[in-house]
């Protein structure tokens, strides 16, 4: 049996940490060490952690000043002693057989990483994770991101187990001090990986903590988030350039960028102040001009393509008009459902 190290980042999750650690400590897989990193919580998360793990000799607890989730995870990795490495967020839960299934998968095919299915969790309600559903359709062993480009949509780190030697060989780490840390880590990891195993069964339950449409809108119309997400996309492109990735995989990555990442930066811009629009327009146009190398924009859904064409041409009036039309149709489809 191979030892697995799992890093659990904890920050102000008092309401959820008991459910998380209960699911973690009841795992079927036995040869595992859990490294809990309290990232300077200001609530009673740390006190609850200490109480919940008391008596468990396979748990290491680190209490650090607040440095952000990337630093918390990286610091956890530094003390990991396992042959394999995984991550969990302190407000999520996992199925009791998750790690057993993932470690069994390594036995069946000596992969660089294994990824498992994800569902969303809101209170007691469980519902599908739309992004993960795009690739979690069938079991695969020893695939690659070139063979299965749908993996581009699976950019979360916490439903994975990595071979530690693979992690170390490619000097993988979470970028500290910026958001969208998983994109900057996960897509390069896929690009480096020679074998990836996919388990479609749901093992990880990702908690939804959104407080409503208003808070989502405010977060998305945030220049810091736009800049950090662009940095993450640029990191992916840098690795693609280093590995000389061309053809369909680069096209698929750029199409995903337009449909998901870049679109998230503009979909609420029609509600934002004019100066936000102006800055985002410049940032995205510069990114597209400098980084995009395929015709992916021509193949995305026509409503989204129309918005990007308006934005790139800096036709703000048309952009606003088409944004209202887009959201009107979207709202109507929800009503009809």
* 136-160 pLDDT tens trace: 788 999 999 999 999 999 999 999 9
Q: What angle do CA 242, 72, 12 make, to 5 degrees?
A: 135
pLDDT of res. 209 = 75
181-192 vs 223-242: helix crossing angle, rounded to 10: 10
Q: Answer yes or no: are the C-beta atoms of 319 and 311 closer than 8 Å.
A: yes
Q: What is the pLDDT of residue 126?
A: 94
Q: Both ends of the chain: CA-CA distance in Å?
A: 49
Region class of 142: left (phi > 0), else alpha (psi between -120 and 50), else beta: left
| Alpha-carbon distance values, 288 to 11, 103, 154, 195, 306 (Å) | 35, 40, 23, 31, 15
Q: By C-alpha distance, which of 179, 178, 131 is closest to 159?
A: 131
User: What pLDDT was estimated at residue 220?
Assistant: 65
**CA–CA dist 336, 41 (Å, integer):** 43
Pair of tokens at residue 145 = 């991101």
For 194-233, what is each residue's pLDDT tens digit? 999 999 999 999 998 754 433 333 466 789 999 999 999 9
Give the C-alpha separation, 104 to 301, whole Å: 40
pLDDT value of position 219: 61
- Of residues 55, 76, 56, 72, the one with CA closest to residue 13: 72
Within the chain, which residues score under 70 in pLDDT? 210-220, 337
Q: Does the pTM exceed 0.75?
A: yes
The residue among 102, 241, 238 whose CA lies nearest residue 183 is 238
Q: What is the 3-state secondary structure (H, E, C) of 178-243?
A: CCCHHHHHHHHHHHHCCCEEEEEEEEEEEECCCCCHHHHHHHHCCHHHHHHHHHHHHHHHHHHHHC
pLDDT of residue 210: 58
Burial 148-160 (b: 16+ CB within 10 A, else e): bbbbbbbbbbbbb
């Amino acid at each position: 049996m191979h030892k697995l190290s799992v890093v659990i980042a904890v920050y102000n999750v008092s309401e959820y940490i008991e459910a998380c650690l209960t699911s973690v400590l009841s795992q079927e897989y036995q040869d595992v060490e859990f490294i809990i990193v309290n990232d300077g919580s200001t609530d009673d998360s740390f006190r609850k952690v200490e109480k919940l793990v008391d008596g468990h000799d396979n748990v290491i607890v680190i209490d650090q000043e607040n440095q952000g989730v990337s630093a918390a995870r990286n610091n956890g990795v530094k003390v990991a002693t396992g042959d394999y490495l995984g991550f969990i967020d302190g407000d999520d839960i996992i199925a009791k057989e998750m790690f057993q299934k993932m470690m069994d998968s390594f036995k069946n095919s000596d992969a660089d990483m294994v990824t498992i299915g994800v569902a969303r969790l809101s209170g007691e309600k469980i519902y599908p994770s739309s992004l993960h559903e795009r690739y979690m359709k069938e079991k695969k062993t020893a695939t690659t991101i070139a063979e299965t480009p749908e993996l581009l949509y699976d950019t979360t780190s916490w439903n994975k187990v990595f071979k530690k030697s693979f992690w170390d060989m490619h000097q993988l780490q979470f970028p500290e001090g910026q958001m969208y840390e998983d994109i900057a880590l996960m897509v390069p990891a896929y690009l480096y990986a020679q074998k990836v195993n996919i388990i479609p069964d749901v093992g990880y339950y990702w908690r939804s903590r959104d407080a409503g449409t208003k808070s989502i809108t405010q977060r998305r119309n945030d220049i810091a988030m736009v800049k950090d997400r662009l940095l993450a996309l640029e990191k992916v492109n840098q690795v693609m350039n280093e590995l000389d990735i061309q053809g369909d995989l680069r096209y698929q990555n750029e199409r995903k960028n337009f449909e998901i990442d870049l679109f998230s930066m503009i979909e609420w811009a029609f509600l934002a102040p004019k100066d936000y629009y102006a800055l985002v327009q410049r940032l995205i146009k510069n990114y597209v001009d400098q980084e995009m190398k395929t015709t992916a924009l021509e193949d995305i859904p026509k409503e989204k393509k129309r918005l990007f064409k308006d934005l790139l041409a800096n036709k703000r009036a048309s952009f606003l008009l088409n944004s209202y039309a887009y959201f009107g149709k979207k709202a109507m489809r929800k009503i009809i459902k």
